[in-house]
Amino acid sequence: MKYISLSTQDIKEMMKVIGIDHLDDLFTTIPEKIRYPGALKIPGPFSEPELVQLFQEMAEHQNSYASLTSFLGGGAYPHFIPAVVDYVSSRGEFVSPYTPYQPEVSQGTLQAIFEFQTLICQLTGLDMANASLYDGASGAAEAVLMASRITRRPKVVLAASLHPQYRQTIRTYCRNIGLILEEVAFTEEGRVDLESLDKLVDNQTAAVVVQSPNYFGVVEEWAPVFQISRQKGALGIAVIAEALSLALLQPPGEAGADIATGEGQSFGLPLAYGGPYLGFMACRQEFIRQFPGRIAGETIDVEGRRGYVLTLSTREQHIRREKATSNICTNQAWCALRATIYLELLGRRGLRELALHNFYKANYLREELSKIPGLSLKFKGPVFNEFVLQLPVAPSQLEPYFREKKIIPGVKLEEDYPQLKNCLLICATEVHSKDQLDKLVEVMAAALDHRPKKGGQS
């Protein structure tokens, strides 16, 4: 077998050293009655050309979206990935090592993590960041658990405009440890209802969790939100599902957030049908002991040279076991490396410019769509790179027409928000040309003309 490097002769010699006649002799500690007697029903072995052909068939033929233009966002964003990111990150020295437990032979990974942590601090305006978490949803859940450990309070208030999958994940994580979750509604602007929030948050509240831009693409005013949480002694958790927005919008740390967490997929990771992505988290210095996940820190070697190590590990499971701040061990290190390369390549100006492009493209599209009779903007609040469009009919009714025109117009919101009937979440980024945006506008108008005249509701 091609991934095995022993010859028959090698095996013979090794068995002689061990003192056995057959490989099966090594497995005598597995009692015979439970040893698997047959051969597993697994196809193969496939040769490399066969494998490539097989996977091409699944990737390119059974997947059939390639010729369509998609305006899907909602927690995963299409962005251009510079060649340098793929090239540099695919080096075997980055792809194939383990977690850097032996720092003397892992400085590349460790320094990259240290740079990543710095970039995340700069973007979020907070003091410290970790080496990564699984994704935005589990990051939000970890932040909630962290706040509950710090405050020892039983209640958490989530914005209803927080990504539905993040809320579901938080719910799953919190159910077994008795945290009570409450939701605060959004206003007609599509922002957190501050009045209701003020009433919901009390001295039993551990944290207030607000996403910006929120699930509807609307940019929240974080400062008044975190003022409320602070007044009641709760922690303010900022969630960022579109990390690129951090290049343009007020950083959560500046607005008073205690913890910021989110999804870094936009920084050089492909859509990849949902993963692997990149959870990130940052917080104020004072919460250092309750911070989850791996952290790289600077130190010196015996000759006084600067170097990096994994540090503060007394928070972690391999030392603290059941008392650890999180059970996380393997994280998304290589995804964080890609984000680091991406951010350093784009730099301050490139990232800002990209954020502006996203902003202007989405806002152009939003304005043009809103001119079509029968369509309206669901929320008046300002948006970054996605927005909610109210249709006069259920989007599913227009779907066949859009499909015919090779367009996926957006995410249908009604399933997660029954009150947002006929609403579509539409995203535009730098990957969409003006022609594509104009085509969506044109097809949308035509779709409304073509719709079956009866049956306004689905």
- The residue written with tokens 């740079």 in the block is 115
Q: Which of residues 179-218 bind other proteins (CB under 8 A)?
A: none
Nearest to 116 by CA among 94, 149, 138, 145: 94
| Piece of the chain touching other proteins by CB under 8 A; list 198-206, 314-322, 386-394, 441-449 | 314-322
Asked whether position 107 contacts other proteins by CB under 8 A, the answer is yes
Asked whether position 353 contacts other proteins by CB under 8 A, the answer is yes
DSSP H or E segment with residue 18: helix 8-18
Structural contact between residues 429 and 77, judged by C-beta atoms closer than 8 angstroms: yes
Asked whether position 430 contacts other proteins by CB under 8 A, the answer is yes
- The nearest distance, CB 198 to other proteins, in angstroms, is 20
Identity of the residue, 35 or 450, whose beta carbon is nearer to other proteins in the bound complex = 35
- The nearest distance, CB 203 to other proteins, in angstroms, is 24
- The nearest distance, CB 150 to other proteins, in angstroms, is 16
- The nearest distance, CB 231 to other proteins, in angstroms, is 20
Asked whether position 322 contacts other proteins by CB under 8 A, the answer is yes
- The nearest distance, CB 260 to other proteins, in angstroms, is 13
Q: Which of residues 139-158 bind other proteins (CB under 8 A)?
A: 145
Nearest-10 crossing angle of helices 395-404, 434-450? 120
Query: What distance in Å separates the CA atoms of residue 414 and residue 430, rounded to the nearest whole number?
Result: 27
Structural contact between residues 411 and 425, judged by C-beta atoms closer than 8 angstroms: yes
Query: What distance in Å separates the CA atoms of residue 261 and residue 173, rounded to the nearest whole number?
Result: 16
Distance of CA 146 to the CA centre of its chain: 19
| Piece of the chain touching other proteins by CB under 8 A; list 80-88, 149-157, 191-199, 445-453 | 80-88
Query: What distance in Å separates the CA atoms of residue 419 and residue 405, rounded to the nearest whole number?
Result: 29
Query: What distance in Å separates the CA atoms of residue 161 and residue 196, rounded to the nearest whole number?
Result: 14
Site string for other proteins, 237-276 (x = CB under 8 A): ---------xxxxxx--xx-------x------xxxxxxx
| Piece of the chain touching other proteins by CB under 8 A; list 12-20, 196-204, 371-379, 441-449 | 12-20
156: which strand partners?
181, 207
| Piece of the chain touching other proteins by CB under 8 A; list 27-35, 147-155, 192-200, 447-455 | 27-35
